[in-house]
Amino acid sequence: MSTAGGNEGRHPLFMPLILVGGLIFGFGLGYSHMARPEVVLDFLQFEDFGLLFVMFGGAAVTGLAYSVVPRLFDRAPLTGDSFGRRLKHFDRNVLVGGGIFGVGWGLSGICPGAGYASLGVGNLPILWAIGGMFIGAYAQGVWRSHTAQSDGAPASAD
Amino acid sequence: MVADLLTIQLLTELFPNGVSRYAIGGLFVGVGAAAIYAGTAINAGASTFLESTLSYVSDRSRFSRYVRSRDWRLVFTLGIILGAAVYAVVFQGGAWTTDVAPWRLLVGGIFVGIGTRIGKGCTSGHGVCGVGSASKTSIAGVLAFLLTAIITAQVVAALGVTP
């Protein structure tokens, strides 16, 4: 995790860019229909494979940005941070957590970003899912804060 | 000619709604993440918002790590909601509501909340930014959640729960 996003001395355009980036991101989730749980469930039940184009279309654009942007700028214009790829340490948690997330995604048809976008398209029942996500995130936070303390060992570097 | 017809039939079966809405939507998702990355070097992900926002109401160490980023993550999420609302107003012509049962949304959401935080990412962090980074960790994460999601959705459908 970079130090990006600290409070002190932020560029005045930092928050506007985050907002505009979020707007484009959310518009895309709406346009792609991924904000509709039914569409995700159709994909997972092999009835419509179109959703592959959302994830890999998005990844193609970010992949291009990861290769081009660092050649244009030495450091990020609004934070001064250096450009890194999104590389996270691999351990068993990636598979365990990913597997648990998948059970929830397959049951509900919604993931976090699409859940927020779903609220934006007027789908108020999605608040059940967003509420559930907060409950789940809180439960794992309590549990992991507790185990980190009782171990007396430093928390894993994720 | 026959081969062409078979190809068209196969594509219609795999993509009954075409691919343009998915591809165009995916491009927008990527452009949103890429714009934030280009200006700030931040790899945007949606699920850390859950923990960072919990830091407003809880002092647990697990959440307080995100105190420094919690305000912009809130703004990012507001942007996602507003962007989807723009889509709804311009293209959808009003609100759309799911028919998926509330218990599926709630229980599924709890699993999503636990899993994304243990697994270090979700469909945007691992799926869009991580895969775009050619991160082996993220590709493993994506394969893990795709596999269990497919199994879960198929089992639930086979049990006759619709939707």
Q: pLDDT tens digits, residue range B16-70?
A: 999 999 999 999 999 999 999 999 999 988 999 999 999 999 999 899 999 999 9
Residue from B52, B78, B117 whose CB has the most chain A CBs within 10 Å, to mutate: B117
In a domain, A157, yes or no: no
Of the residues B36, B55, B63, the best mutation for testing chain A's interface (the one with the most A CB atoms within 10 Å of its CB) is B36
Q: Give me the total of CB pairs closer than 8 Å, taking one residue from chain A and one from chain B.
A: 573
8-state DSSP, B9: H
- Give yes or no for A67 touching B (CB within 8 A): no
Taking the C-alpha atoms of residue A78 and residue A30, their distance in angstroms, rounded to an integer, is 28
Q: What is the pLDDT of residue A2?
A: 44
A10 to chain B, closest Cα gap in Å: 11
* Chain A stretch 72-91, residues whose beta carbon is closer than 8 A to a beta carbon of chain B: 72-73, 75-79, 81-90
Q: Percent of chain A scored above 70 by pLDDT? A: 89
The pTM of the full predicted model, rounded to 2 decimals, is 0.92
Residue A44 lies in a domain: yes
Given a contact cutoff of 8 angstroms between Cβ atoms, the answer to whether A130 and B49 are in contact is no
Best mutation site among A46, A47, A79, A111 for testing chain B: the one with the most B CBs within 10 Å? A111
Q: What is the pLDDT of residue A151?
A: 56
Query: Are the Cβ atoms of B22 and A87 closer than 8 angstroms?
Result: no
ipTM of model: 0.95
Domain boundaries, position A91: 14-151
> With 70 as the cut, is the pLDDT of residue A157 above it?
no
* Per-residue pLDDT reduced to its tens digit, A56-81: 899 999 999 999 999 999 999 999 99
Residue range B142-146: average pLDDT? 96
CA distance A91 to chain B (A): 8
- pLDDT reported for residue A19: 98
Which pLDDT value is given to residue A7?
Answer: 53
Asked whether residue A4 is assigned to any structural domain, the reply reads: no
Q: Is residue A105 part of a domain?
A: yes
pLDDT of residue A8: 61
- Residues in B closer than 8 angstroms to A62, CB to CB, are 30, 33-34, 37, 128-129, 131-133
Residue A158 included in any domain: no
Given B62, B87, B145, which is nearest A99 (Cβ)? B145
- CB count within 10 Å of CB B141 equals 33
Shortest CA distance from B76: residue in chain A: A22
Residues of A in contact with B11 (CB under 8 A): none
How far is it, in rounded angstroms, from Cα A30 to Cα B94? 12
Pick from B33, B96, B145: CB nearest A123: B96
Give residue B125's identity as a one-letter amino acid code: G
What is the spatial distance between Cα B55 and Cα A26, in angstroms, rounded to a whole number?
Answer: 24
Determine the pLDDT at residue B163.
Answer: 82
Total domain count, chain A? 1
A156 assigned to some structural domain: no
Question: Has residue A9 been placed in a domain?
Answer: no
Q: Is the pLDDT of residue A140 over 60?
A: yes
| Alpha-carbon span A120 to A28, nearest angstrom | 12
Query: Is A73 inside any structural domain?
Result: yes
Average pLDDT, chain A: 90
**Token pair belonging to A68:** 């081009």
| Each residue's pLDDT tens digit, A78-129 | 999 999 888 888 999 999 999 999 999 999 999 999 999 999 999 999 999 9
A153 touches chain B (CB under 8 A): no
